[in-house]
């Protein structure tokens, strides 16, 4: 679809990992939106599991439980688990790679399977989002620390092992699914001082939406950022690979020209943020204990935060006041539109709609974006009647100036036009 759209942001920019995953789910179960959402919830649970496994490498069982609770009971992450996005599968495979790298740090003598497995998991993460390539420097850093007492040849072999596994998997994957994630060059051309400054003011604060749900995150950043830094520094030798991946990912999204994603891009860093926060409170309690009688209470702060998150999640479930997207494809007006399209348009028809992937999913019709320039390749155009949930849409007169539009269907939210060139 996107090869024919004027907006070239997928799928040749996005890798094929998520579509392949969805295709496998459809083959095993059914080609159904609710099936895909349930699988995404499973990945949310798996992210909590690997958070537990990661935290156990750095803190006590109680601390690991608290760090995991900050993920498992988090209302914001629960909200995102209801969306078919690549972030949660990517977070699972990337954190699993870091967990395996941590096992390599702890194993003596050096064994070959942990770095091989870590490299393979990093490659799977790479198929979900190409930012998974940033796992390689982190894995190499981990291997360098694990082999620092070995001979030069063994150190070189240790450094290259995860890269070898990554490369083999990536080459095989490219042979099976060519062309995904290969068009970043044209996106990089949009980098500017303005986008960098905007992202630098957005993502470091959005990172703390994990703990606030998006409210007063700037205040939370000022209070919690020193503790996260303190937590990372408290075990720097053992957690340097985590800090490396954390900083590289944050730097990437500051430089990356895509804007307006908010917390979504920060989801893969959530397990590391939760772990570093718990370690930070523990380190702060240990450092001020000689001067403050109740310093040990600081260790309980993350547990209190997770309890508040659990209470909030239960409240949203009981009261059914969980946050909802302003547009979703199950409302009566959208359902009526999709039903009309399936019944009254030919299968080869090409549509222009502001949600092309969702439209294709529900109608089995090829769909381009709602950019006015896409009308030249469309046989039908759907206008959303100045609805607030489609603020990127231009005035109808702009579209009418590009082609003759004949009204075929309308309801409260939509007007469907036949495009005559």
What's the pLDDT score for residue 68? 94
pLDDT the model gives residue 352 = 92
d(C-alpha 98, C-alpha 96), whole Å: 5
Task: Enumerate the β-bridge partners of residue 405.
Answer: 419
β-strand 404-410 against 415-420: which pairing, if any? antiparallel
DSSP, collapsed to helix, strand or coil, labels residue 190 as coil
Question: Residue 187: what pLDDT?
Answer: 67
The pLDDT value recorded for residue 151 is 75
Beta strands across the sheet bearing 366-368 = 366-368, 350-352, 380-383, 415-420, 404-410
pLDDT at 83: 82
Q: What are the distances in angstroms from CA 382 to CA 5, 204, 338?
A: 15, 37, 11
CA distances from 163 to 20, 103, 128, 153, 169 (A): 23, 17, 18, 16, 10
**Looking up tokens 């699972």, which residue turns up?**
92
pLDDT for residue 165: 93
194, 24 Cβ separation under 8 angstroms: no
Is residue 261 a contact partner of residue 206, using CB atoms and an 8 Å limit? Answer: no
The total number of residues shown for the chain amounts to 421
Q: Which of 287, 335, 281 is nearest to 304 (CA)?
A: 281
361 contact partners, CB below 8 Å, separation of at least 6: 33, 329
d(CA 127, CA 147): 28
Burial class for 310, CB neighbours closer than 10 Å (0-12, 13-18, 19+): middle
CA distances from 239 to 57, 222, 279, 401 (A): 9, 23, 11, 58
Q: Are residues 162 and 149 in contact, defined by beta-carbon separation less than 8 angstroms?
A: no
Tell me how far apart the alpha carbons of residues 294 and 311 are, in angstroms, rounded to a whole number.
Answer: 26
The answer to whether the CB of 166 falls within 8 A of the CB of 136 is yes
**Whole-number Å distance between alpha carbons of 166 and 116:** 8
Q: Give the residue from 124, 177, 130, 123 showing the smallest Cα distance to 13.
A: 130
Residue 289 pLDDT = 66
Spatial contact of 99 and 57, defined as CB atoms under 8 Å apart: yes
pTM: 0.83
Low-confidence ranges of the chain (pLDDT < 70): 1-14, 107-108, 179-188, 259-261, 289-290, 293-295, 317, 320-326, 386-388
């Amino acid at each position: 679809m996107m090869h024919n759209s004027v907006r070239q942001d997928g799928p040749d920019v996005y890798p094929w990992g998520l579509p392949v995953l969805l295709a496998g789910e459809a083959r095993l179960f059914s080609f159904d939106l609710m099936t895909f959402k349930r699988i995404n919830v499973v990945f949310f649970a798996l992210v909590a599991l690997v958070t537990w496994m990661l935290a156990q490498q750095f803190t006590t069982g109680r601390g690991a439980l608290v760090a995991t609770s900050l993920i498992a009971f988090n209302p914001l992450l629960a909200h995102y688990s209801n969306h078919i996005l690549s972030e949660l599968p990517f977070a699972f495979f990337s954190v699993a790679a870091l967990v395996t790298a941590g096992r390599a740090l702890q194993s003596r003598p050096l064994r070959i399977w942990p770095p091989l497995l870590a490299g393979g998991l990093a490659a799977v993460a790479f198929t979900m989002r190409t930012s998974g390539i940033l796992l390689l420097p982190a894995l190499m850093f981990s291997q360098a620390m694990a082999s620092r007492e070995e001979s030069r040849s063994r150190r070189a072999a240790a450094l290259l092992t995860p890269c070898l596994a990554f490369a083999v998997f990536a080459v095989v994957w490219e042979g099976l699914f060519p062309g995904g994630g290969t068009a970043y060059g044209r996106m990089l051309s949009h980098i500017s001082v303005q986008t960098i400054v905007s992202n630098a003011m957005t993502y470091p604060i959005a990172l703390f939406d994990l703990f606030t749900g998006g409210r007063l995150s700037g205040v939370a950043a000022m209070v919690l950022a020193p503790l996260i830094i303190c937590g990372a520094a408290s075990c720097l030798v053992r957690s340097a690979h985590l800090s490396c991946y954390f900083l590289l990912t944050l730097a990437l999204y500051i430089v990356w020209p895509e804007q307006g994603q908010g917390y979504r891009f920060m989801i893969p860093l959530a397990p590391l943020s939760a772990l570093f926060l718990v370690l930070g409170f523990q380190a702060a309690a240990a450092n001020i204990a000689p001067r403050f009688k109740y310093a040990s209470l600081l260790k309980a702060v993350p547990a209190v935060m997770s309890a508040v998150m659990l209470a909030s999640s239960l409240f949203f479930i009981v009261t059914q006041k969980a946050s909802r997207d302003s547009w979703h494809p199950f409302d009566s007006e959208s359902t009526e539109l999709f039903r009309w399209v399936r019944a009254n348009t030919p299968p080869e028809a090409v549509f222009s709609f502001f949600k092309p992937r969702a439209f294709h999913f529900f109608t089995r019709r090829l769909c381009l974006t709602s950019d006015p320039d896409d009308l030249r390749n469309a046989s039908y155009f759907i206008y959303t009647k100045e609805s607030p949930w489609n603020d990127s849409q231009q005035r109808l007169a702009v579209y009418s100036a590009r082609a003759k539009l004949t009204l075929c269907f309308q309801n409260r939210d939509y007007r469907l036009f036949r495009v005559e060139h």
